[in-house]
């Protein structure tokens, strides 16, 4: 079977910038920060007391009470974003061919909030008070499970738990499943909800988080010289991917064509990238190779850009190695400057942002870019969104354990 062409027809976002795709995009173009003091728990004893929280989310807008209380927050975000994406794509239920519609939704960590609550019950009241819904509310793949139940999607159903690359792996795997004929439509992306004491405390112990507690909106500052760590975000980014001919035949509006899905491993260290950025270099090259694209075909990169001292320096060098002289003509934004780092949700959210960048022909900025860092010397679209001709966007995601993904999206009018 010749590989089939795969397009994106729906984008659904729940982010710290807004509940919904349009609201999130407005925030990105306005260069708004989603960060603030942590309100989910008393963080006063923590070294990092800031996060990008989703505001005003009511799970009962997307599920009845009986179902909603059996889902961790990350599942509720995934469900809401999936419903937005399905509506955006014009995917009607009941599905015409449910066995050909699948769901891959990842989470880096799963239901941390639920784990902490039930663990407290174990300690305070004993094992017989652990909820029978503890496991299904918390397990990573239950986001895909709930979305499949809701949509009646009986095709491939899966989830990756690859840390900060998880959402990007989901989109990439969905692309592969359609490309090679295992499904015709996939609902795919990532979700995360980890603004909890254990999770913030764990990342804080790694010294991975920004401690700019007095200025939360200025804390996530990728590529800026004074960056000091990432800011935890939460939410979900879900796409609807479809086989191109079928999407065109039903008159769907295309956001983008998915051209390449690169994967690589660092084989180096549990949390740090290798100094030569080899994992990042090889993953971007793999995406370009699958797409049959030259470096010059790419106009923009949605960087992993976490705002940690190490990532941004090494990612910049890796982009230079892959793109050579063309690197100076690339726009390299990190939208984590505004959304914070959604961990396993980031790859889904940023794949959605890549699609919106192509649709609106507008580059989202990297905010809080104030002091140039000589080691991060690319065009990071500082502080202000910019209209531009964008033919294709590469979206990078790198995860702990040395798990890397790069996805290449092209404007549907290009080819």
Partner 1 sequence: MPDKPREAEGAREPEELPVDERVRELICEQLSVAPDEVTPEATFVGDLSADSLDMVELMMALEEQFGIDISEDQAERIQTVGDAVAFIEQRIN
Select from 127-135, 156-164, 248-256, 262-270 the region that touches partner 1 (CB under 8 A).
Answer: 127-135
Among residue numbers 57 through 86, which ones bind partner 1 (CB under 8 A)? 64-66, 69
In the annotation, is 341 catalytic? Answer: yes
Active-site residue (options: 52, 164, 355, 376): 164
**Is 413 an interacting residue with respect to partner 1 (CB under 8 A)?**
no
Residue 67 or 228: the one with the smaller Cβ distance to partner 1 is 67
**Is 119 an interacting residue with respect to partner 1 (CB under 8 A)?**
no
**Is 127 an interacting residue with respect to partner 1 (CB under 8 A)?**
no
Q: Point out which residues pair with 399 in neighbouring strands.
A: 403
Residue 26 or 120: the one with the smaller Cβ distance to partner 1 is 120
**Is 129 an interacting residue with respect to partner 1 (CB under 8 A)?**
yes
CB neighbour list of residue 295: distance below 8 Å, 6 or more residues apart: 288, 322, 323, 324, 326
We find the least distance from the C-beta atom of residue 117 to partner 1, in angstroms, to be: 14
Active-site residue (options: 52, 169, 199, 341): 341
Of 36, 43, 30, which Cα lies nearest the Cα of 16?
36
We find the least distance from the C-beta atom of residue 219 to partner 1, in angstroms, to be: 39
Which residue is associated with the tokens 């295992």?
A: 182
DSSP letter at 204? H
**Is 251 an interacting residue with respect to partner 1 (CB under 8 A)?**
no
Active-site residue (options: 169, 199, 304, 376): 304
**Is 123 an interacting residue with respect to partner 1 (CB under 8 A)?**
no
**Is 131 an interacting residue with respect to partner 1 (CB under 8 A)?**
yes
Structural Rg of the chain based on CA atoms: 20
In the annotation, is 52 catalytic? Answer: no
CA atoms within 13 A on the CB side of 37: 8
Evaluate whether 77 touches 191 at the Cβ level (below 8 Å).
yes
Buried-exposed string 27-65: b where 16+ CB fall within 10 A, e elsewhere: bbbebbbbbbebebeebeebebbbbbbbeebebeebbee
**Token pair listed for 312:** 């941004």
Q: Which residues bind partner 1 (CB under 8 A)?
A: 64-66, 69, 128-129, 131-133, 136
Q: Which residues are catalytic?
A: 164, 304, 341
């Amino acid at each position: 079977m010749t590989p089939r062409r795969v397009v994106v027809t729906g984008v659904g976002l729940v982010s710290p910038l807004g509940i919904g795709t349009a609201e999130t995009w407005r925030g990105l173009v306005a260069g708004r920060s989603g960060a603030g003091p942590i309100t989910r728990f008393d963080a006063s004893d923590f070294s990092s007391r800031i996060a990008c929280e989703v505001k005003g989310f009511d799970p009962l807008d997307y599920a009845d009470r009986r179902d909603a209380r059996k889902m961790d927050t990350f599942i509720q975000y995934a469900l809401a974003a999936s419903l937005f994406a399905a509506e955006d794509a014009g995917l009607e239920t009941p599905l015409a061919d449910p066995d050909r519609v699948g769901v891959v939704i990842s989470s880096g960590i799963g239901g941390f909030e639920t784990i902490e609550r039930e663990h407290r019950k174990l300690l305070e009241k004993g094992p017989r008070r652990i909820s029978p819904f503890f496991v299904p509310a918390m397990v990573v793949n239950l986001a895909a499970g709930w979305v499949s139940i809701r949509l009646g999607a009986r095709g491939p159903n899966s989830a990756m738990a690859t840390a900060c690359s998880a959402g990007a792996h989901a989109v990439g795997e969905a692309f592969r499943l359609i490309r090679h004929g295992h499904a015709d439509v996939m609902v795919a992306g990532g979700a995360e909800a980890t603004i909890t004491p254990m999770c913030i405390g764990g990342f804080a112990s790694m010294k991975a988080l920004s401690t700019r507690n007095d200025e939360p909106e200025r804390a996530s500052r990728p590529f800026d010289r004074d960056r000091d760590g990432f800011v935890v975000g939460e939410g979900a980014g879900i796409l609807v991917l479809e086989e191109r001919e079928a999407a065109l035949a039903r008159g769907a509006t295309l956001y983008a064509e998915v051209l390449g899905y690169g994967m690589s491993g660092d084989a180096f260290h549990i949390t740090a990238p290798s100094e030569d950025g080899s994992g990042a270099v090889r993953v971007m090259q793999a995406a370009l190779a699958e797409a049959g694209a030259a470096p010059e075909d790419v106009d923009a990169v949605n960087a992993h850009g976490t705002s940690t001292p190490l990532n941004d320096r090494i990612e910049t060098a890796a982009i230079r190695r892959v793109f050579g002289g063309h690197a100076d003509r690339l726009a390299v934004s990190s939208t984590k400057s505004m959304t914070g780092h959604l961990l396993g949700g980031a790859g889904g959210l940023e794949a959605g942002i890549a699609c919106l960048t192509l649709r609106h022909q507008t580059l989202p900025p990297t905010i809080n870019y104030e002091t140039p860092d000589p080691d991060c010397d690319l065009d990071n679209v500082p502080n202000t969104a910019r209209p531009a001709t964008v033919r294709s966007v590469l979206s990078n995601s790198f995860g702990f354990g040395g798990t890397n993904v790069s996805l290449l999206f092209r404007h549907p009018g290009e080819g």
